[in-house]
Chains A and B, each alone.
Chain A
Amino acid sequence: MSKSTTANEIMEREFLETRAKLLELAAALDRLDRAAGSVAQDPRSQQIQQALAVLSSNDADRAEQIQLIFSLPYDPEWRSRYGLAEPSN
């Protein structure tokens, strides 16, 4: 479905918006650097750095990858951890 619009058309349409979003991000990071104190040890800083690395990649699922960086892990054993019995099928 996404093939009906060309990459050139999307670039034309979204370049300024993308540029603006990158500038907002850069300015937010500058703001953090300028402020007193440090958040280098804050786990959220590491999440932001991981997300920035994903942005620089050529992967096709960057949005999904970034979502997962900001997600808590899923524990497939959660039911037994909560003492909730598996249903008897």
Chain B
Amino acid sequence: MYYIDPHIHMVSRTTDDYETLARMGCVGVSEPAFWAGFDRGSVDSFRDYFFQLTEFEPRRAAQSGIEHFTWLCINAKEAENVALSREVLSVIPELLDHPGVLGIGEIGLNKNTKNESIVFLEHVELAVQHNQSVLIHTPHLQDKHPGTRMILDMLCNDPRIDRNRVLVDHVEEHTVRPVLEAGFWAGMTLYPVTKCTPQRAADIVETYGPDRLLVNSAGDWGPSKPTAVPDFIMEMRRRGRDEQLIRRIVLDNPIKFFEQSANFKVPERVRL
């Protein structure tokens, strides 16, 4: 089955991983800007990272027949440094028309601090000013519930935001309902220990239905599995779920959400 991984950090993966994803039916990946595992020291580090996301990774993905899309921001962890964040924010607009750039992301909260909230709001302002979609990171573990509620507070208080153009990622059992009820898209990240398993993601689909739900692997430099979306497909099949339903979640929904971005093109293999 063809699928799109709507949230995967391919800069952390090998070229062999691209090949494996392609063999498993992956036709497109969307890569939000992320933390490198250490705090970057200057805006120039981010310029280089954005070059990697917008120029290098699409070429590497294309070698395996995968189309690569990306989102730009300074992530929540480094957003604690407000001065650096503002410098990074200032270089993003020049890249927003670049082919494959889908919007602002993954912005969000990490430890739910005041500085993170300030930088989150400034990213949202940038998205509104430039008519961009938004991809949102929600915090981990004990911080996820309060952090997700804070993010929803900030988004729902701004009447300029088109909720259909916002994807709130890393939802779990205790956060998916408020996200969907508020009219946003919700992403389930299949990630060992700290997020969701393929089985629990399938449970959430059974509970809430397939509307505005996506699944992704995150596939970052931490202990993660870039082939987690096929694991979800297998779990849904194991439960006897309809192929159309599975396709809707792993392919049709990502396309429906991404099509709202001017720089998105439906992957060629899906169009054929």
User: Which listed residue (B143, B209, B241) contacts A72, Cβ 8 A?
Assistant: B143
Instruction: Please tell me if A35 contacts chain B, counting CB pairs below 8 Å.
Output: no
Given A64-B173, A67-B174, A86-B157, A1-B149 contact (CB < 8 Å): no
- A37 proximity list for chain B (CB < 8 A): none
Say yes or no for B207: interface residue by CB 8 A criterion. yes
Q: For residue A4, which residues in chain B have a CB less than 8 angstroms away from its CB?
A: 240-241
Question: Is B59 interfacial (CB 8 A cutoff)?
Answer: no
- The listed residue (A73, A74, A87) touching B157 by CB distance below 8 A is A87
Nearest B residue to A73 by beta-carbon distance?
Answer: B146
Q: Is A30 an interface residue (CB 8 A)?
A: no
Q: Which residues does chain A contribute within 8 Å of B241, judged by CB atoms?
A: 4
Whether the Cβ atoms of B142 and A70 lie closer than 8 Å is yes
* B145 near A84: Cβ-Cβ < 8 Å: no
Check if B271 is an interface residue, CB within 8 A of chain A. Answer: no
- Compute how far the CA of A61 lies from the CA of B173 in the bound complex, rounded to whole angstroms: 9
- The answer, yes or no, to whether B117 is at the interface (CB within 8 Å) is yes
**How many residues of B are counted as interface, with CB atoms below 8 angstroms from the partner's CB atoms?**
30
A71 touches B144 (CB 8 A): yes
Q: Would A5 and B240 be within 8 Å (CB), given that A63-B173, A75-B146 are in contact?
A: yes
Chain A CB within 8 A of B172 CB: yes
CA distance A67 to B157 in the complex (A): 26
List chain B residues, Cβ under 8 A from A82. Answer: 114, 117
Q: Which residues of B in the span 127-150 have a Cβ within 8 Å of any Cβ on A?
A: 141-146, 149-150
* B153 in the interface (beta carbon within 8 A): yes
On chain A, the number of residues with a Cβ less than 8 Å from chain B's Cβ atoms is: 25
Inter-chain contacts of A5 with B (CB < 8 A): 239-240
Residue B97 interfacial (CB < 8 Å): no
Inter-chain contact B203/A1, CB cutoff 8 Å: no
> B145: which of A61, A71, A83, A86 is its contact (CB, 8 Å)?
A71
Q: What 1/0 flags go to A58-72 for Cβ under 8 Å of B?
A: 000101100110111
23 contacts between A and B (CB under 8 A): A1-B205, A1-B207, A2-B206, A2-B207, A4-B240, A4-B241, A13-B238, A63-B173, A64-B174, A67-B144, A67-B145, A67-B174, A68-B174, A71-B144, A72-B142, A72-B143, A72-B145, A73-B146, A76-B149, A78-B153, A84-B114, A84-B118, A86-B157
Given contacts A2-B206, A13-B238, 15 further A-B contacts (CB under 8 A): A4-B240, A5-B240, A63-B203, A67-B172, A68-B145, A68-B174, A70-B141, A70-B142, A71-B142, A71-B144, A72-B143, A74-B149, A75-B146, A82-B117, A84-B114
Q: Which residues of B contact A (CB under 8 A)?
A: 112, 114, 117-118, 121, 141-146, 149-150, 153, 157-159, 172-174, 200, 203, 205-207, 209, 238-241
